[in-house]
Chains A and B, each alone.
Chain A
Amino acid sequence: MSDYVKYSSMAEGDAFLDPIPSFEVTKERVEKYIQSTNDETEQLQIKDDQGRQVAPPMLAAVYVIEALRTKVGPPGGIHAKQQFKFHRPAYIGETLFTSANVLKLYERKGRHYVEMTTETRNQDGELITSGMITRIWGKET
Protein backbone atom coordinates (compact mmCIF):
# COMPACT_ATOMS: atom_id res chain seq x y z
CA MET A 1 0.00 0.00 0.00
CA SER A 2 1.36 3.45 -0.93
CA ASP A 3 2.10 5.94 1.84
CA TYR A 4 1.37 8.97 -0.31
CA VAL A 5 -1.88 10.83 -0.71
CA LYS A 6 -3.85 9.75 -3.76
CA TYR A 7 -5.55 12.38 -5.88
CA SER A 8 -8.76 10.36 -5.78
CA SER A 9 -8.75 10.35 -1.97
CA MET A 10 -9.17 14.14 -1.75
CA ALA A 11 -12.36 16.16 -1.99
CA GLU A 12 -12.83 19.89 -2.33
CA GLY A 13 -13.32 21.40 1.11
CA ASP A 14 -11.29 18.73 2.92
CA ALA A 15 -8.89 19.73 5.66
CA PHE A 16 -5.58 18.44 4.27
CA LEU A 17 -3.50 18.45 7.45
CA ASP A 18 -4.82 16.66 10.50
CA PRO A 19 -3.30 17.03 13.02
CA ILE A 20 -1.99 20.51 12.25
CA PRO A 21 1.84 20.48 12.45
CA SER A 22 3.81 23.04 14.42
CA PHE A 23 6.98 24.94 13.50
CA GLU A 24 9.35 26.58 15.98
CA VAL A 25 10.82 29.83 14.68
CA THR A 26 14.28 29.42 16.18
CA LYS A 27 17.20 31.79 15.83
CA GLU A 28 19.21 28.99 14.24
CA ARG A 29 16.61 28.25 11.56
CA VAL A 30 16.14 31.91 10.71
CA GLU A 31 19.88 32.57 10.52
CA LYS A 32 20.39 29.52 8.31
CA TYR A 33 17.61 30.69 6.02
CA ILE A 34 19.00 34.22 5.82
CA GLN A 35 22.48 32.93 5.03
CA SER A 36 21.30 30.45 2.41
CA THR A 37 19.34 33.14 0.56
CA ASN A 38 21.98 35.91 0.88
CA ASP A 39 19.40 38.20 2.46
CA GLU A 40 21.04 41.36 3.78
CA THR A 41 17.83 43.21 4.63
CA GLU A 42 18.67 45.62 7.41
CA GLN A 43 15.41 45.07 9.32
CA LEU A 44 16.32 41.41 9.87
CA GLN A 45 19.36 42.39 11.91
CA ILE A 46 17.69 44.70 14.42
CA LYS A 47 15.29 44.11 17.29
CA ASP A 48 12.10 46.10 17.70
CA ASP A 49 11.29 48.18 20.79
CA GLN A 50 9.97 45.07 22.52
CA GLY A 51 13.20 43.17 21.88
CA ARG A 52 11.73 40.97 19.18
CA GLN A 53 13.59 39.93 16.06
CA VAL A 54 11.64 39.31 12.87
CA ALA A 55 12.14 36.54 10.36
CA PRO A 56 12.13 37.22 6.60
CA PRO A 57 8.56 37.23 5.24
CA MET A 58 9.50 34.50 2.77
CA LEU A 59 10.36 32.14 5.62
CA ALA A 60 6.72 31.26 4.89
CA ALA A 61 8.13 29.15 2.07
CA VAL A 62 9.78 27.02 4.74
CA TYR A 63 7.09 26.70 7.39
CA VAL A 64 4.18 26.29 4.95
CA ILE A 65 5.96 23.79 2.73
CA GLU A 66 7.29 21.88 5.74
CA ALA A 67 3.71 21.55 7.01
CA LEU A 68 2.52 20.35 3.61
CA ARG A 69 5.37 17.84 3.43
CA THR A 70 3.86 15.97 6.37
CA LYS A 71 1.41 14.57 3.78
CA VAL A 72 2.92 14.11 0.36
CA GLY A 73 1.67 13.14 -3.07
CA PRO A 74 3.35 10.64 -5.39
CA PRO A 75 6.90 11.41 -6.55
CA GLY A 76 7.19 13.72 -9.55
CA GLY A 77 4.76 16.39 -8.39
CA ILE A 78 5.43 19.96 -9.47
CA HIS A 79 4.90 23.23 -7.64
CA ALA A 80 3.09 25.29 -10.28
CA LYS A 81 1.81 28.45 -8.59
CA GLN A 82 2.16 30.20 -5.26
CA GLN A 83 0.29 32.98 -3.56
CA PHE A 84 1.18 34.45 -0.17
CA LYS A 85 -0.21 37.27 1.87
CA PHE A 86 2.13 38.31 4.66
CA HIS A 87 -0.01 39.67 7.47
CA ARG A 88 3.11 40.27 9.53
CA PRO A 89 6.53 38.66 9.82
CA ALA A 90 7.02 35.86 12.30
CA TYR A 91 9.15 36.59 15.36
CA ILE A 92 11.98 34.41 16.57
CA GLY A 93 10.61 32.40 19.47
CA GLU A 94 7.10 31.99 18.08
CA THR A 95 5.46 28.66 17.35
CA LEU A 96 3.53 28.54 14.09
CA PHE A 97 0.66 26.29 13.07
CA THR A 98 -0.22 25.90 9.40
CA SER A 99 -3.56 24.51 8.28
CA ALA A 100 -4.44 23.64 4.68
CA ASN A 101 -7.70 23.02 2.88
CA VAL A 102 -8.33 21.52 -0.52
CA LEU A 103 -9.89 24.28 -2.57
CA LYS A 104 -10.11 22.87 -6.07
CA LEU A 105 -9.34 19.59 -7.85
CA TYR A 106 -9.21 19.48 -11.63
CA GLU A 107 -7.63 17.76 -14.60
CA ARG A 108 -5.92 19.49 -17.50
CA LYS A 109 -4.01 17.84 -20.34
CA GLY A 110 -4.04 14.54 -18.48
CA ARG A 111 -2.52 16.02 -15.34
CA HIS A 112 -4.16 16.32 -11.95
CA TYR A 113 -4.09 19.76 -10.36
CA VAL A 114 -4.65 20.41 -6.66
CA GLU A 115 -5.24 23.89 -5.31
CA MET A 116 -4.99 24.36 -1.57
CA THR A 117 -5.43 27.33 0.70
CA THR A 118 -3.08 27.64 3.66
CA GLU A 119 -3.26 29.68 6.82
CA THR A 120 -0.51 30.10 9.39
CA ARG A 121 -1.20 31.37 12.90
CA ASN A 122 1.05 31.72 15.93
CA GLN A 123 0.56 30.08 19.33
CA ASP A 124 -1.95 32.81 20.27
CA GLY A 125 -4.02 32.39 17.12
CA GLU A 126 -2.65 35.53 15.49
CA LEU A 127 -2.68 35.36 11.69
CA ILE A 128 0.83 35.46 10.21
CA THR A 129 0.50 34.28 6.60
CA SER A 130 -2.27 33.08 4.32
CA GLY A 131 -1.82 31.67 0.87
CA MET A 132 -2.73 29.39 -1.94
CA ILE A 133 -0.61 26.74 -3.59
CA THR A 134 -1.23 24.94 -6.87
CA ARG A 135 0.46 21.60 -7.30
CA ILE A 136 0.47 19.25 -10.26
CA TRP A 137 0.02 15.92 -8.53
CA GLY A 138 2.57 13.23 -9.33
CA LYS A 139 1.47 10.24 -11.38
CA GLU A 140 0.22 7.37 -9.26
CA THR A 141 1.59 3.91 -10.01
Chain B
Amino acid sequence: MIELQSYAGYSVGDQLEELSQSVDQSMIDAYADASGDVNPLHIDPEFAKTTFFGRTIAHGLLTLAFVSRVLSQWNWQGWAYGGELNVSFLGPVYPGDTVRVSGEIDQIEKRDDGIYARCQLTCFCDDRKVVKGFVICKISH
Protein backbone atom coordinates (compact mmCIF):
# COMPACT_ATOMS: atom_id res chain seq x y z
CA MET B 1 0.00 0.00 0.00
CA ILE B 2 1.36 3.40 -0.98
CA GLU B 3 -0.01 6.63 0.50
CA LEU B 4 -0.53 9.60 -1.78
CA GLN B 5 -1.32 13.26 -1.05
CA SER B 6 -3.49 13.66 -4.12
CA TYR B 7 -4.71 11.77 -7.16
CA ALA B 8 -6.79 12.72 -10.18
CA GLY B 9 -8.40 15.78 -8.62
CA TYR B 10 -8.80 14.27 -5.16
CA SER B 11 -6.55 15.60 -2.37
CA VAL B 12 -6.06 14.92 1.32
CA GLY B 13 -7.94 17.68 3.13
CA ASP B 14 -10.74 17.96 0.54
CA GLN B 15 -14.15 18.47 2.12
CA LEU B 16 -17.21 16.61 0.94
CA GLU B 17 -20.22 18.76 0.21
CA GLU B 18 -22.06 19.08 3.51
CA LEU B 19 -25.63 17.85 3.74
CA SER B 20 -28.17 19.32 6.11
CA GLN B 21 -31.41 17.42 6.62
CA SER B 22 -34.17 18.22 9.07
CA VAL B 23 -35.88 15.26 10.70
CA ASP B 24 -39.43 15.31 11.97
CA GLN B 25 -41.78 12.64 13.25
CA SER B 26 -43.43 12.21 9.85
CA MET B 27 -40.04 11.40 8.31
CA ILE B 28 -39.31 8.90 11.10
CA ASP B 29 -42.75 7.32 10.58
CA ALA B 30 -42.12 7.10 6.82
CA TYR B 31 -38.74 5.43 7.40
CA ALA B 32 -40.35 3.00 9.86
CA ASP B 33 -42.90 2.11 7.21
CA ALA B 34 -40.29 1.77 4.47
CA SER B 35 -37.83 -0.24 6.55
CA GLY B 36 -40.30 -2.32 8.50
CA ASP B 37 -38.60 -1.26 11.73
CA VAL B 38 -41.62 -0.28 13.79
CA ASN B 39 -39.93 -0.31 17.19
CA PRO B 40 -42.23 1.86 19.38
CA LEU B 41 -39.20 3.83 20.56
CA HIS B 42 -39.27 5.43 17.11
CA ILE B 43 -42.96 5.84 16.42
CA ASP B 44 -44.96 5.78 19.66
CA PRO B 45 -44.53 8.98 21.70
CA GLU B 46 -46.36 7.54 24.72
CA PHE B 47 -44.12 4.48 24.83
CA ALA B 48 -41.01 6.57 24.18
CA LYS B 49 -41.82 8.72 27.24
CA THR B 50 -41.23 5.65 29.40
CA THR B 51 -37.72 5.05 28.01
CA PHE B 52 -34.35 6.53 28.84
CA PHE B 53 -34.73 8.99 25.96
CA GLY B 54 -38.05 10.42 27.15
CA ARG B 55 -39.31 10.92 23.59
CA THR B 56 -39.13 9.25 20.21
CA ILE B 57 -35.80 9.04 18.41
CA ALA B 58 -34.97 8.48 14.75
CA HIS B 59 -33.59 5.17 13.55
CA GLY B 60 -29.79 5.30 13.53
CA LEU B 61 -29.91 3.82 10.06
CA LEU B 62 -31.96 6.77 8.81
CA THR B 63 -28.93 8.93 9.61
CA LEU B 64 -26.79 6.50 7.60
CA ALA B 65 -29.15 7.01 4.66
CA PHE B 66 -28.16 10.72 4.75
CA VAL B 67 -24.50 9.66 4.82
CA SER B 68 -25.12 7.51 1.76
CA ARG B 69 -26.72 10.47 -0.06
CA VAL B 70 -23.55 12.51 0.49
CA LEU B 71 -21.33 9.70 -0.77
CA SER B 72 -23.60 8.96 -3.75
CA GLN B 73 -23.41 12.59 -4.84
CA TRP B 74 -19.66 12.72 -4.32
CA ASN B 75 -18.62 9.50 -6.03
CA TRP B 76 -21.51 7.20 -7.01
CA GLN B 77 -19.37 4.60 -8.73
CA GLY B 78 -16.81 4.32 -5.94
CA TRP B 79 -19.46 4.27 -3.24
CA ALA B 80 -22.02 1.88 -4.75
CA TYR B 81 -19.44 -0.52 -6.22
CA GLY B 82 -16.97 -1.35 -3.45
CA GLY B 83 -17.59 1.45 -0.93
CA GLU B 84 -16.97 0.73 2.72
CA LEU B 85 -18.51 2.33 5.79
CA ASN B 86 -17.44 1.99 9.42
CA VAL B 87 -19.33 4.09 11.96
CA SER B 88 -20.31 4.31 15.60
CA PHE B 89 -23.62 5.68 16.82
CA LEU B 90 -22.88 8.19 19.57
CA GLY B 91 -26.23 9.73 20.36
CA PRO B 92 -29.88 9.98 19.35
CA VAL B 93 -31.49 12.12 16.67
CA TYR B 94 -34.79 13.55 17.90
CA PRO B 95 -37.74 14.84 15.87
CA GLY B 96 -37.06 18.52 15.21
CA ASP B 97 -33.30 18.00 14.92
CA THR B 98 -31.33 18.91 11.81
CA VAL B 99 -28.63 16.41 10.94
CA ARG B 100 -25.47 17.80 9.35
CA VAL B 101 -23.26 15.28 7.56
CA SER B 102 -19.69 16.33 6.83
CA GLY B 103 -16.63 14.51 5.61
CA GLU B 104 -13.02 15.13 4.76
CA ILE B 105 -10.50 13.04 2.84
CA ASP B 106 -7.74 12.10 5.25
CA GLN B 107 -5.98 9.40 3.25
CA ILE B 108 -5.44 8.42 -0.36
CA GLU B 109 -3.84 5.07 -0.92
CA LYS B 110 -2.78 2.91 -3.80
CA ARG B 111 -3.78 -0.71 -3.38
CA ASP B 112 -3.19 -3.62 -5.74
CA ASP B 113 -6.59 -3.11 -7.41
CA GLY B 114 -6.80 0.68 -7.53
CA ILE B 115 -6.66 4.02 -5.77
CA TYR B 116 -8.85 4.55 -2.71
CA ALA B 117 -9.80 7.64 -0.71
CA ARG B 118 -10.69 7.43 2.96
CA CYS B 119 -12.95 10.14 4.38
CA GLN B 120 -13.43 10.88 8.05
CA LEU B 121 -17.11 11.37 8.60
CA THR B 122 -19.16 13.14 11.27
CA CYS B 123 -22.87 13.74 11.78
CA PHE B 124 -23.93 16.53 14.12
CA CYS B 125 -27.23 17.75 15.51
CA ASP B 126 -26.34 21.29 16.62
CA ASP B 127 -23.23 20.67 18.74
CA ARG B 128 -24.02 17.03 19.49
CA LYS B 129 -22.02 14.48 17.57
CA VAL B 130 -24.41 11.64 16.75
CA VAL B 131 -22.38 9.51 14.33
CA LYS B 132 -18.68 9.32 13.64
CA GLY B 133 -16.50 7.04 11.58
CA PHE B 134 -15.03 6.76 8.13
CA VAL B 135 -15.86 5.64 4.62
CA ILE B 136 -13.62 4.36 1.85
CA CYS B 137 -14.35 4.78 -1.86
CA LYS B 138 -12.41 3.70 -4.90
CA ILE B 139 -11.47 6.77 -6.93
CA SER B 140 -9.58 5.09 -9.76
CA HIS B 141 -8.73 1.64 -11.13
Within 8 A of A (CB), among B66-105: 66-69, 72-73, 76, 79-89
Segment among B4-12, B33-41, B107-115, B116-124 that sits at the interface with chain A: B33-41
Give A33 Cβ to nearest chain B Cβ, in Å. 5
**B52 nearest CB neighbor, chain A only:** A76
Chain A residues, Cβ within 8 Å of B72: 39, 41, 43, 56-57
Chain B residues, Cβ within 8 Å of A32: 30, 33-34
Chain A residues, Cβ within 8 Å of B84: 83-86
Chain B residues, Cβ within 8 Å of A39: 65, 68-69, 72
The answer to whether the Cβ of A80 comes within 8 Å of any Cβ in the partner chain is yes
Chain B residues, Cβ within 8 Å of A43: 72, 76, 80
The answer to whether A61 and B81 touch (CB under 8 A), given A37-B69, A38-B69, is no
Chain A residues, Cβ within 8 Å of B81: 86-89
A21-55 toward B: CB 8 Å interface, digit per residue (1/0)? 00000000100110111111111000000000010
Chain B residues, Cβ within 8 Å of A57: 68, 72, 79-80, 83
B82 touches A87 (CB 8 A): yes
The answer to whether the Cβ of A65 comes within 8 Å of any Cβ in the partner chain is yes
Give A18 Cβ to nearest chain B Cβ, in Å. 21
Chain B residues, Cβ within 8 Å of A40: 69
The answer to whether the Cβ of A11 comes within 8 Å of any Cβ in the partner chain is no
CA separation between A1 and B30, bound complex, in Å?
34
**A61 nearest CB neighbor, chain B only:** B61
Chain B residues, Cβ within 8 Å of A61: 35, 61, 64-65
B35 touches A38 (CB 8 A): no
CA separation between A118 and B104, bound complex, in Å?
28
CA separation between A85 and B61, bound complex, in Å?
15
The answer to whether the Cβ of A66 comes within 8 Å of any Cβ in the partner chain is yes
The answer to whether A81 and B33 touch (CB under 8 A), given A37-B66, A39-B65, A43-B80, is no
B contact residues vs A (CB 8 Å cutoff): 21, 27, 30-31, 33-37, 60-62, 64-69, 72-73, 76, 79-89
**Given known contacts A61-B64, A87-B82, what 13 new A-B pairs fall within 8 Å (CB)?**
A33-B34, A37-B34, A37-B68, A40-B69, A41-B73, A43-B72, A54-B80, A65-B35, A81-B86, A83-B87, A84-B85, A85-B83, A86-B83
List 10 A–B pairs whose Cβ atoms lie within 8 Å, in order of A's numbering.
A33-B34, A35-B34, A38-B21, A43-B76, A61-B35, A61-B65, A82-B85, A85-B82, A87-B81, A88-B80
